[in-house]
Amino acid sequence: MAETDAVPQNPIRRYSNTAVAIHWMTAVLVLFQIWLGLSLDDLKGAARASTFDWHKTVGILILLATLGRLTYRMMNPPPAFSPDVPKWERVAAVWNHRLFYLLLIGLPIGGYVAVSGHAKNGTTTLLGGITIPTIPGISPQLGELAGSMHGLAAWTLIALIVVHFLAALKHQFVDKAPASGRMPPFRPPHGENTVVGQGHGATPVEAARA
C-alpha cells in the first residue's frame, strides 16, 4: 500500500504517543534553533560565541531526534490517510515530510562541515565547554560554501514549516476534516473518535495493514 493511499476509517487512526512526543520535541527544538540562528547576526563577542555554542548543540540534538524519529517511522509505518484528504494534499503531505527529514538531517551535517572549515585546532565547542572533533581536511573555501548552503537550506525549512502550519490550520478550521485528529493534541472538529494507528498500540486492522 502506497503512503498516499487512503483508507476508510471510523474511528480516525492517529500517530502513536511515541511519534507524537518526538514530533513535538523536534518542533520545539527547530523553532528554538531558528531563533538562535536569526539572532547570531545581531550579536558580537562573547554573546555571539555563547549563542553559537547553543546553536551547535541544539543542531546535534535535532539530528539525533530526527534520526530516531526516522528509525521509528521505518519500523512503525504511520497511520493511513482517511478519504477526507484529497489525493493532491496526500501527495503534498508525504513530500513535505520527506523534505523535512532531508533538511533536518542535512542542515546539522552542513553546519558541521561549515564549522570544520573554520576550526583552528581541529575541535569545536558545545554547551558546557564540551569539545568535539571537527571533520579533517575541510578547506575554508568548502566551509564557506557549506555555510552558504546551510543558510539557504534554513530558509527552505522555514518555508516548509509555514506551509505545514497553514495546511494544519486549513484542515482544522476550513475543511473541518476528521484527519485533523491524526496528530494529538489536535482533535477532529466534529468530535470523531480517534485510535492509535501506529506501532504496538495500533488497532488490529491497522496493524495488519502495516
Task: Note down pLDDT in tens along the chain; length 210 residues.
Answer: 789 999 998 899 999 999 999 999 999 999 999 999 999 999 999 999 999 999 999 999 999 999 999 999 999 999 999 999 999 999 999 999 999 999 999 999 999 999 999 998 999 999 999 999 999 999 999 999 999 999 999 999 999 999 999 999 999 999 998 888 999 998 888 888 999 999 876 764 444 344
In the prediction, which pLDDT does 1 show? 76
- The answer to whether 105 and 63 have CB atoms below 8 angstroms apart is yes
Structure-derived torsion over alpha carbons of residues 136, 142, 148, 153, reported in degrees to the nearest 10? -60
Residues 97 and 60: their CA atoms lie apart, in Å, by: 20
Query: Nearest-CA neighbor of 101 among 136, 135, 72, 126?
Result: 72
Query: Nearest-CA neighbor of 78 among 173, 191, 135, 1?
Result: 1
Query: Going by CATH, does the domain composed of 12-209 fall within 2.30.130.10?
Result: no
> Helix (H, G, I), strand (E, B), or coil: what is residue 187?
coil
